[in-house]
Amino acid sequence: MKIYQNPLTRAVRNGLGATLAFSLAAMPLAVLAQDADTNEDEDILMEEVLVTGSKLSSNPNLMAATPVLSVLGDEAALRGNVRMEDFVNTLPQVFAGQASEVSNGASGTATLNLRGLGSQRTLVLIDGRRLPYGSSGVSSANIDLVPMQLVERVDILTGGASAVYGSDAVGGVANFILKSDFEGFEAGYQWGASHNRNNDGFWKKVLQAASQPVPDANTDGKENSFYVMMGANTEDGRGNVTLFASYEDREAIEQANRVFSGCALGQDDGDESFGGFGCIGSGNFRTFGGPGGFVHQLENGEMVPYQGGPSQTFNFGPFNFFQRPSERWSFYGKANYDLSQNVEAFADFSYMNNYSDAQIAPSASFGRHPINCDNPFIQDTPGISLLEVFGCSPEDVANGVFYDNAFASHRNVEGGPRNSRLENSAFRFVGGLRGTVGE
């Protein structure tokens, strides 16, 4: 069947379709025009966008993002740390530098060592400004100057930054950001100690095999810390003044009081043993040598062949400090005031005095010395004769001939351990204006 439409019907239908299409196309324009008319008199608010550029040409293939680790200062208080170096040294990016557990080679300072490249290659800043040298002849900064309770956060740049800061930032940068708007009063006291039961069976056997005393359970290393902090904002809200003071007292921890450190061990085929400088039953180290070989003197004075091991080497472990005793006073003050919208005046003052004692084993004498063959101390020695060891013939004894290459070693146990009294004082004052130009 076929359906026929007359010309009038087709004309009306086409006209309605064109009208509908035009209406749909014009609707968005009308809506946009209405919105534009509505918002014509309103201010458009846009956030500030900062764009930093450089005229220096650079190859994007040679550029890389530098990782920055930010740690809040409150985390140190939650962990119970008394000193900032104790907290920062727990981070995986930081190796232990100078700290309270260092006795041999101690400088009495506290330093940071990023990526194990040395403290002299780690830059330390407070609010973006450098700290002075920690001690004479050492370029690394002493972070004892940092007031731990006043730290808002620590930013650690773990990549090298020598291109920006210089060669002392090859290992990285640690920037301590302090609170700038503290208001009110805060005080705190903390007491702590180290307790060890010394019940490790393996180390007990090691000490007993070497005839060394096994320490009982003990509590030592007691420490006290006290601080006060106060701050106030100016009436106009444009400035702040903050003051801080602290006192810390820490007792020593001796290695002799820990079962795992009462004996200094060497390595033998990957196992802990008495090789090298290991444990010894006696309190001294007496070895002599010459053309006739090496001998060791027992407690009764008898000379026996030198074979090393626990009975013929000196145990230096018990004399050393695990933790140095120390006493520290510190003061810090800072002030800032906004002179204008773009200019701020600031001033920082800090003072620190730290006293500590470093102790290590008695000094030793190792070397070769000239000795006369008629010396009465080498005559008629029980056991192996020292005359034979030094190659002295009866004629040499009669004529008092000198043997110029006699080896003799000795530990000055009679004089006791070596102690170094270390005292460090530091002042720091920074002041100036900071702001922006061209805004």
Listed residue (185, 141, 331) closest to 248, CA to CA: 331
Sign of the C-alpha dihedral computed for residues 135, 140, 141 and 143 taken in this order: negative
Residue 435 in any domain: the answer is no
The DSSP H or E segment spanning 34 is helix 7-38
- Looking at the DSSP assignment, which residues form a beta bridge with residue 281? none
Provide the pLDDT for residue 2.
42
Domain of 157, CATH number, reads 2.170.130.10
Confirm if 121 and 171 have CB atoms less than 8 A apart: yes
SS3 301: coil
Provide the pLDDT for residue 65.
60
Residues 38-74 as b/e (b if ≥16 CB within 10 A, e otherwise) read eeeeeeeeeeeeeeeeeeeeeeeeeeeeeeeeebebe
Residue 221 in any domain: the answer is no
Residue 243 in any domain: the answer is no
Torsion of CA 147, 148, 152, 156, to 10 degrees: 100
CA 40 to chain centre: 61
How many domains does one find in the chain? 1
Residue 359 in any domain: the answer is no
Provide the pLDDT for residue 245.
96
Residue 124 in any domain: the answer is yes
Burial class of 366 by CB neighbour count within 10 A (0 to 12, 13 to 18, 19+): exposed
Provide the pLDDT for residue 148.
87
Cα–Cα distances in angstroms (integers) from residue 234 to residues 188, 230, 302, 331, 418, in the given order: 25, 14, 81, 22, 54
Residue 133 in any domain: the answer is yes
The DSSP H or E segment spanning 188 is strand 184-196
- Main-chain phi, psi angles of 348, to 5 degrees: -130, 140
113 token code pair: 């060592």
Listed residue (135, 178, 153, 146) closest to 91, CA to CA: 153
Residue 196 in any domain: the answer is no
Beta strands in 56-183 (DSSP E): 68-72, 94-96, 112-114, 122-126, 129-130, 133-135, 138-141, 151-157, 172-178
Listed residue (99, 108, 105) closest to 421, CA to CA: 108
Residue 200 in any domain: the answer is no
SS3 157: strand
Q: Residue 110 sits in which domain range? A: 66-178
Confirm if 290 and 306 have CB atoms less than 8 A apart: no
For the chain (439 residues), the mean pLDDT of every run of 10, in chain order, is: 45 45 43 49 60 48 64 79 80 76 79 82 88 75 87 83 76 88 92 90 81 87 94 92 95 90 62 43 66 81 78 80 91 93 92 91 81 83 84 86 80 84 89 81
Provide the pLDDT for residue 22.
41
Provide the pLDDT for residue 361.
86
The C-alpha atoms of residue 113 and residue 140 are separated, in whole angstroms, by: 9
SS3 360: strand
Cα–Cα distances in angstroms (integers) from residue 385 to residues 79, 205, 390, 410, in the given order: 61, 36, 9, 18
